[in-house]
Amino acid sequence: MGTLTGKTALVTGSSRGIGRATALRLADEGALVAVHYTSNQEAADDVVRTIEKEGGRAFAVQAELGVPGDVHDLFLGVEQGLKERTGTTDLNILVNNAGVMGGVAPEDTTPELFDRIIAVNAKAPFFIIQRALTIMPDGGRIINISTGLTRTANPQEIAYAMSKGAVEMLALHFAKHLGPRGITINSVAPGITRNDNPVFDMPEVVEQMAQLSVFNRVGEPRDVGDVVALLASDDARWITGAFVDASGGTLVG
């Protein structure tokens, strides 16, 4: 029996990257997982198929985040999927993972780009948490994916780092609010982690990025997914309001 048998989970942005690895690991531990995506249905369906092949349970949910009605659309699919499979809409674990980066110099950052980054990365997680709390039983788990860039500078990502700094505030303040319900909330900060970005196909760039970690490699999505699964488990019941460095030692300087 896995550590999450009988639990239900929503992982936003789990069609790819860190979210995908997190969904796979939570399902491997026995959770029924809502695999959320925005545009890449094929990728989300592949995650669901992979989980089912391993004997786990999952379903895909589509919703674009950072636009009006986003949270409503997301929970329509989540609640329907949970109800069909469990008979209730109880959601035990929420992972706010979906995010967009900037990759633009500060002088080229437009108000539109800034607003979008804040809307997807900071505003959406707040209102997803607000909505999730209406169906989360006591003892639930909330994990928000931040970034090591809230601790180390990259001038190409100021707006992005600002959005993730805001996300980290969710753990601090909600921890106090949710303590009486036994719900924990924490931030997980990855360092450079392999995803579909073409830079990861360039060995000389990967070698340079690897040097940022004390382990001399770039992170794999699973490195972060495993940390999220730990925080989602009962073993992590005494950790809340925390910033968890999952950067492979990138932040030690």
If binding is defined by CB under 6 A, does position 248 make contact with ligand NDP?
A: no
Task: Tell me if 205 contacts ligand NDP by CB under 6 A.
Answer: no
Q: Which amino acid is at 161?
A: A
Examine residue 120 and tell whether it contacts ligand NDP (CB under 6 A). Answer: yes
Let me know: does 227 contact 168? Beta carbons within 8 Å.
no
Element (H, E) at 68: none
The separation between CA 44 and the C-alpha centre of its own chain, rounded to angstroms, equals 15
Q: Tokens standing for 92?
A: 């035990």
36 vs 141 by CB, closer to ligand NDP = 36
The residue range among 25-33, 36-44, 77-85, 134-142 that interacts with ligand NDP, by the rule CB under 6 A, is: 36-44
Quick one: which of 8, 15, 186, 250 contacts ligand NDP (CB under 6 A)? 15
Smallest distance from the beta carbon of 244 to ligand NDP, in angstroms? Answer: 12
Binder among 37, 59, 75, 174 for ligand NDP (CB under 6 A): 37
Give yes or no: 37 in active site: no
CB of 224 to ligand NDP, least distance (A): 7
Exactly one of 4, 25, 60, 66 binds ligand NDP (CB under 6 A); that residue is 66
First vs last C-alpha separation in the chain: 40
> What is the nearest approach in angstroms of ligand NDP to the Cβ of residue 134?
21
The number of CA neighbours under 13 Å toward the Cβ of 73 is 16
Contacting residue, 92, 150, 193, 240, with ligand NDP by CB under 6 A = 193
Q: Kindly name the residue from 65, 160, 164, 250 that is annotated as catalytic.
A: 160
Sequence-ordered list of residues with C-beta below 8 angstroms from that of 136, at least 6 positions apart, any chain: 90, 91, 92, 94, 142, 183
Q: Are 124 and 98 in contact (CB under 8 A)?
A: yes
Task: Tell me if residue 73 falls in helix, strand or coil.
Answer: helix
Whose CA is closest to 237, among 194, 185, 200? 185
Q: Where along the sequence are the contacts to ligand NDP (CB under 6 A)?
A: 13-19, 37-40, 43, 64-66, 97-100, 120, 145, 147, 190, 192-193, 195-196
Catalytic machinery residues: 160
